[in-house]
């Protein structure tokens, strides 16, 4: 019986773990309201000849690499005054039901093909992860929760508070909504308040101590609005967006005293190579917005990084910088499964407890009760493979996998009633690094986060798990789930039995909360770092040692802003776009 429950919990938890991804549908872009979005193969061939000085018939004032959370608002803003080329390696998110509707959130990682909207990767720590590969970036595959950064964070990074307070509302007016709070989320709120995570701050975007309801990018009908919708604010005469445009590297003129970015080399959906160039103006720039994984990878592929690592991969060294790819961090998350005796309404993250001990508490519910989600086969990242990861390799036979798939399909969906309390560590001290595995940009790099390497991170996880178990044992939860009060050991054993990562398990060691944290660590997809200020970029995010190259995304952060970073990363795109325009045109830029 215990084994059956463990298997059921594993399936439920695994399906939840991969809810931040989606499959990409192919469409003709003329169907949509953005005429400036085109396939990469439409790029004019006249730009395909290299010029060390840039320029040419199809030169641009700005080339933004990466049409994601920061890249879309950045490109839209810059296009108000200058010509912009936005290059996105994925396709469009529009008309993709798994991206667009919250009810399909739990099955969005079913597609692990090369055309999927998400690209899975496994860190060397053994933690399963995903990165976006679609116009709109992580806003297309995340849980939709919207909350601003703290005032401390804004001050720490040196941003102009007035400009920040103009940039957040620009995003919010277009794609952010107030959620209809689910009953499960109210129970989470009440139990947090009973535990002293107070006061209750109601509905707010602000990052303040206590318990609150946050915003969402899902509207009242459960439809997702993404950063791609922010392109509606662009000047369509000055913006060109190419999808399925996989940038291979940045091109440099190295004839002067400092390398100067002049263009990019990219591949279209048919595998043909193209080159796009900047105009001759010294104020023109290439801006990398490829995300915390993609941007350091792109710098390395372009010849900027540790000399020995570049030479090992036979990459021509443009600039030696030993800090590229270093200081990679991810906010470790652990989750407690809460079983129900009745169906529960699906809900993504709506409630958050912001504690003073450096732990955030969130929750989700009801995403394992769909017949489609339970019976879905997830390919190499499937529940079948996860379950078998605890067996020696020689025992992972095709017959064993097929037998597990059959058992999975026979499980009634009623067995998956329940939800999760999620505990995330704020500002982890533990960091790691990113290194190239190959020179193919489509291959994931090797990423190490070193979860819980620092004892302070581990202690905060222990504190958070203790809080989560008390929540499960509270009267609020028992009344809602209609389940009897459970012991701490039973709660932890149910969760530790779920194979949510590839870390070796200690299923009978619930006496050690430290071991539980290590065994059950997962990601909440809030990785950052690799291109830190003062080491890879300056305070304006211009890459040190080269001209006309800048970075605008979370790779420059040494902490993830707020409880969820998407609000601040989108705001950052708008903010930096305005700042670049003001620096170039003066405060009277009029945008």
Known catalytic residues?
A: 526
**Among positive and negative, which fits the CA dihedral 530, 428, 510, 336?**
negative
Please list, in sequence order, all residues whose beta carbon lies within 8 angstroms of the beta carbon of residue 136, skipping any fewer than 6 positions away.
67, 68, 69, 72, 93, 226, 227, 228, 229
How far is Cα 415 from Cα 369, in angstroms, rounded to an integer? 8
Beta partners for residue 319, in sequence order = 304
Q: Is residue 317 a known part of a binding site?
A: no
Which residues 6+ apart lie within 8 Å of 282 measured at CB? 547, 548
Q: Is 134 annotated as a binding residue?
A: yes
Distance CA 574, CA 172 (A): 12
Instruction: Output helix, strand, coil percentages for the chain, rounded to the nearest 5.
Output: 35, 20, 45
Is 435 known to sit in a ligand binding site? Answer: no
> Which sign, positive or negative, has the C-alpha torsion 20, 349, 564, 528?
negative
Residue 525 annotated in ligand binding: yes
Please indicate if the annotation marks 526 as binding a ligand: yes
Backbone angles phi, psi at 130, to 5 degrees: -155, 150
Report residue 549 CA to chain centroid gap. 23
566 appears as a binding residue in the annotation: yes
DSSP string for residues in 213-252? E-EESB-TTSBB--GGGGGGGS-TTTEEEEES-EEEEEEE
174 is annotated as contributing to ligand binding: no
d(CA 249, CA 577): 23
- 99 annotated to a ligand binding site: no
CA gap 557, 576 in Å, rounded: 14
Q: What is the dihedral angle through the alpha carbons of 50, 53, 59, 62, rounded to the nearest 10 degrees?
A: 120
Bind-site residues? 88-89, 134, 247, 525-526, 554, 565-566
Bind-site residues for FAD? 88-89, 134, 247, 525-526, 554, 565-566
């Amino acid at each position: 019986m215990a084994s059956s429950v463990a298997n059921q919990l594993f399936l439920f938890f695994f399906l939840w773990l991969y809810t931040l991804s989606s499959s990409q549908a192919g469409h003709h872009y003329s169907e949509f309201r953005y005429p400036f979005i085109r396939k990469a193969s439409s790029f004019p061939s006249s730009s395909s000849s290299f010029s060390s000085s840039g320029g040419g018939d199809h030169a641009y004032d700005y080339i933004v690499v990466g049409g994601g959370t920061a890249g879309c608002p950045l490109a839209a803003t810059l296009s108000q005054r200058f010509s912009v080329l936005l290059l996105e390696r994925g396709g469009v998110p529009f008309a993709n039901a798994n991206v667009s509707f919250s009810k399909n959130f739990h099955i969005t990682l079913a597609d692990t093909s090369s055309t999927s909207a998400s690209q899975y990767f496994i860190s060397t720590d053994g933690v399963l992860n995903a990165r976006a590969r679609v116009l709109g970036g992580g806003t297309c595959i995340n849980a939709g929760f919207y909350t601003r950064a703290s005032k401390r964070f804004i001050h720490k990074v040196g941003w102009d508070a007035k400009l920040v307070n103009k940039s957040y509302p620009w995003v919010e007016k277009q794609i952010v909504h107030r959620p209809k709070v689910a009953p499960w989320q109210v129970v989470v709120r009440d139990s947090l308040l009973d535990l002293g995570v107070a006061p209750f701050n109601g509905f707010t975007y602000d990052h303040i101590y206590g318990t609150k309801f946050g915003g969402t990018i899902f509207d009242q009908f459960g439809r997702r609005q993404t950063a791609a919708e922010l392109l509606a604010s662009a000047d369509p005469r000055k913006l060109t967006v190419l999808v399925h445009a996989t940038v291979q590297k940045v091109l440099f003129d190295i004839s002067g005293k400092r390398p100067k970015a002049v263009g990019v080399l990219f591949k279209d959906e048919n595998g043909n190579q193209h080159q796009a160039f900047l105009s001759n103006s010294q104020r023109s720039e290439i801006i990398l917005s490829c995300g915390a994984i993609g941007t350091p990878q792109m710098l390395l592929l372009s010849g900027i990084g540790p000399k020995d690592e570049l030479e090992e991969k036979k990459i021509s060294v443009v600039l030696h910088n030993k800090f590229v790819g270093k200081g990679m961090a991810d906010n470790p998350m652990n989750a407690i499964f809460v079983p129900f005796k009745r169906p529960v309404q699906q809900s993504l993250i709506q409630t958050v407890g912001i504690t003073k001990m450096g732990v955030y508490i969130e929750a989700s519910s009801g995403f394992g009760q769909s017949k489609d989600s339970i019976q879905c086969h997830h390919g190499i990242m499937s529940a079948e493979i996860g379950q078998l990861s605890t067996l020696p390799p020689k025992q992972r036979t095709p017959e064993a996998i097929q037998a597990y798939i059959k058992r999975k399909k026979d499980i009634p969906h009623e067995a998956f009633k329940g939800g999760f309390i999620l505990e995330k560590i704020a500002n982890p001290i533990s960091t790691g690094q990113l290194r190239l595995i190959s020179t193919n940009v489509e291959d994931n790099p090797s990423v190490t986060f070193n979860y819980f390497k620092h004892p302070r991170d581990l202690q905060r996880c222990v504190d958070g798990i203790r809080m989560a178990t008390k929540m499960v044992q509270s009267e609020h939860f028992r009344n809602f789930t209609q389940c009897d009060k459970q012991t701490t050991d039973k709660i932890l054993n149910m969760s530790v039995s779920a194979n949510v990562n590839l870390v070796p398990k200690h299923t009978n060691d619930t006496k050690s909360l430290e071991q539980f944290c290590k065994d059950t660590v997962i990601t909440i997809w809030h990785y950052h770092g690799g291109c830190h200020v003062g080491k890879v970029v300056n305070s304006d995010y211009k890459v040190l040692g080269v001209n006309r190259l800048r970075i605008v995304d979370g790779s420059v952060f040494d902490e993830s802003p707020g409880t969820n970073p998407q609000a601040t990363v989108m705001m950052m795109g708008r903010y930096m776009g305005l700042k670049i325009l003001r620096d170039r045109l003066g405060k009277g830029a009029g945008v």
